[in-house]
Amino acid sequence: MDRRNATGLNGQIHEALFNSHTGFLIDVTCNATRYTVVKPYTQFDPALLTKAPATCTGCRTILDAAPGAPRHPADIARECADILLTDADTRGYPPTLDDEGLRLAFTRLAPDTGHLRPLFEDLARGVYDPQNSYRTQPLYALTREHLADTLTERALQVPPNTPKVTVRYVRHTGGELQVPVGVGDRLTRNGLASGHWPTGTVTAVDTSGILVDFHDGYPPRHYHQHEVPRCFAFKRNRAPQPPAATPHS
């Protein structure tokens, strides 16, 4: 997530929080929603970016860390994202990233979060969002962005000394990149022609290509290195691999 100052529609300068891969403006620090800087149904205008310091009092209070000021929303979201990720990892699945998935996770985790319990209960309750008909909160978008960042970092990691085979990875909040394939990754086969999009687990990577087990009763199938980008649509998010789990936790 990027933090840069931007001039709001009323002329005040806010600190704005951006998706680091697409440049999408997610929110402003003072919790006044992104619509203080972008008009509805339009894209963020890069000409509004400025190097000048923030003048909005809401943003200033948080940035100066004045006594009694609320914490920076990006920091709160980071803390929530870490809790969600740890919980998902313990269960052995990647975290869900859509609004309803986040709401259910906040609901389930709220009783066990100690001093964060009031915040989690707030997040679990959500507010009605007419844009997507699910309950959501401004903090959902920031939490989701932190989760997407962490999952992207994770998608870029493969066990050491793995021969280089790359495949497409699509970030949940937008932006795509080529990532390496490692043993244990789950890849979804491109089914544009067949309408069938099976997901398989990579069981081996060597200089000739990769072996993918589709869990369909047949032995793992071999794909040459040059076939991988064509045959596979994308790499899926994953929970950490057991040996790689310790150094990054």
37 forms part of the interface with Zn ion (CB under 5 A): no
Q: At 223, phi and psi to the nearest 5?
A: -125, 130
56 forms part of the interface with Zn ion (CB under 5 A): yes
User: Token pair for residue 46?
Assistant: 């890069």
210: three-class secondary structure by DSSP: strand
CA distance 249 to 245: 6
Q: How many CA atoms lie within 13 A of 35 on its CB side?
A: 4
Cβ proximity to Zn ion: between 14 and 154 the closer is 14
Cβ proximity to Zn ion: between 31 and 203 the closer is 31
Q: Which helix (H) or strand (E) holds 79?
A: helix 73-91
| Contact stretch for Zn ion (CB under 5 A) within 21-29, 39-47, 126-134, 144-152 | 21-29
| Contact stretch for Zn ion (CB under 5 A) within 57-65, 84-92, 168-176, 188-196 | 57-65
25 forms part of the interface with Zn ion (CB under 5 A): no
Shortest CB 58 distance to Zn ion, Å: 4
Binding footprint of Zn ion, residue count (CB under 5 A)? 6
CA distance 17 to 144: 13
- Which residues, 98 to 117, sit near Zn ion by CB under 5 A? none
CB contact at 8 A, 200 and 187: yes
- Which residues, 187 to 246, sit near Zn ion by CB under 5 A? none
Shortest CB 51 distance to Zn ion, Å: 16
30 forms part of the interface with Zn ion (CB under 5 A): yes
Shortest CB 15 distance to Zn ion, Å: 7
DSSP 8-class letter at 11: S
Shortest CB 144 distance to Zn ion, Å: 21
14 forms part of the interface with Zn ion (CB under 5 A): yes
Q: Taking the C-alpha atoms of 52, 56, 57 and 58 in order, what is their torsion angle to the nearest 10 degrees? A: -120
Interface residue with Zn ion among 5, 17, 34, 58 (CB under 5 A) is 58
26: three-class secondary structure by DSSP: strand
72 forms part of the interface with Zn ion (CB under 5 A): no
Q: At 146, phi and psi to the nearest 5?
A: -65, -40
Cβ proximity to Zn ion: between 53 and 118 the closer is 53
Q: Which helix (H) or strand (E) holds 81?
A: helix 73-91
CB contact at 8 A, 95 and 82: no
CA distance 87 to 150: 14
| Contact stretch for Zn ion (CB under 5 A) within 30-38, 84-92, 127-135, 229-237 | 30-38
59 forms part of the interface with Zn ion (CB under 5 A): yes
Shortest CB 29 distance to Zn ion, Å: 6
Which residues in this chain contact Zn ion in the complex, by CB under 5 A? 14, 28, 30, 56, 58-59
